[in-house]
């Protein structure tokens, strides 16, 4: 789970999550991924990290502001498993951990699907652009051929050969790019299909 998703579940600011995981009195309660000590490019929190954050949130809400006191609570093994429901559905009550996990998984799945759809749309637009470039190149070749049909000078023939070679190379490159992007689109569609299939499976299982 990313820090932004954890912040939504906890009903706190994303910077608050960062500050708590980096607090010298509390940092040893968090996983290496939560502190970005595992070499990851982004902060990834485990279920244990989320419980530690929720316990910190709860204790501070109860008026315990001393970090050493909060550390002592965590050291005792206490973990608050009721999360603020208002951060998820607008209800001021709290919800149990399993419901929070379901909400978090739903957010992650939706985010992955939206990201995949966005990438597919971007790749499709790039394929269309490359096809337009190919069409323009073919049009230029046709214009050159028409122009050269009435030309007899050697200079004109050499210029034609040079331009056609360049256009052939550009056409070849554009075709390679089109094939590459079409393959990527196919791959993303397959992933999107698998993602949607998993969502449908989860719905039927539930």
Averages of pLDDT over each 10 residues, the chain, 206 residues = 87 92 93 86 88 93 93 94 62 47 56 68 81 84 77 66 82 83 83 82 75
Looking at residue 58, its pLDDT comes to 93
Among residues 83, 9, 30, 55, the alpha carbon closest in space to that of 18 is found at: 30
Structure tokens at 189: 């569609």
Looking at residue 94, its pLDDT comes to 43
Among residues 9, 28, 87, 103, the alpha carbon closest in space to that of 17 is found at: 9
| Domain chopping of the chain, boundaries | 3-95, 106-205
| Whether the Cβ atoms of residue 6 and residue 53 lie closer than 8 Å to each other | yes
Residue 26 CB: number of other CB atoms within 10 A?
Answer: 20
- Give strand pairing partners of 44: 2
Looking at residue 42, its pLDDT comes to 83
- Length of the chain in residues, anyone? 206
């Amino acid at each position: 789970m990313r820090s932004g998703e954890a912040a939504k579940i906890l009903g706190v600011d994303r910077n608050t999550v960062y500050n708590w995981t980096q607090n010298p009195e509390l940092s040893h309660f968090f996983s290496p991924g939560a502190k970005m000590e595992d070499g990851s490019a982004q902060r990834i929190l485990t279920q244990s990290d989320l419980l530690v954050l929720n316990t910190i949130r709860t204790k501070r809400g109860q008026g315990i502001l001393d970090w050493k006191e909060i550390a002592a609570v965590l050291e005792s093994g206490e973990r608050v498993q009721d999360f603020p429901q208002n951060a998820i559905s607008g209800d001021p009550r709290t919800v149990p951990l399993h419901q929070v996990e379901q909400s978090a998984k739903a957010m992650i799945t939706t985010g992955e699907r939206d990201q995949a759809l966005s990438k597919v749309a971007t790749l499709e637009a790039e394929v269309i652009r490359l096809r337009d470039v190919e069409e323009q190149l073919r049009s230029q070749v046709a214009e050159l051929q028409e122009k050269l049909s009435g030309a007899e000078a050697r200079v004109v023939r050499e210029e034609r050969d040079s331009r056609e070679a360049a256009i052939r190379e550009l056409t070849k490159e554009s075709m390679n790019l089109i094939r590459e992007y079409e393959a990527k689109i196919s791959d993303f569609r397959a992933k999107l299909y698998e993602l949607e299939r998993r969502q449908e499976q989860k719905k039927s299982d539930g």
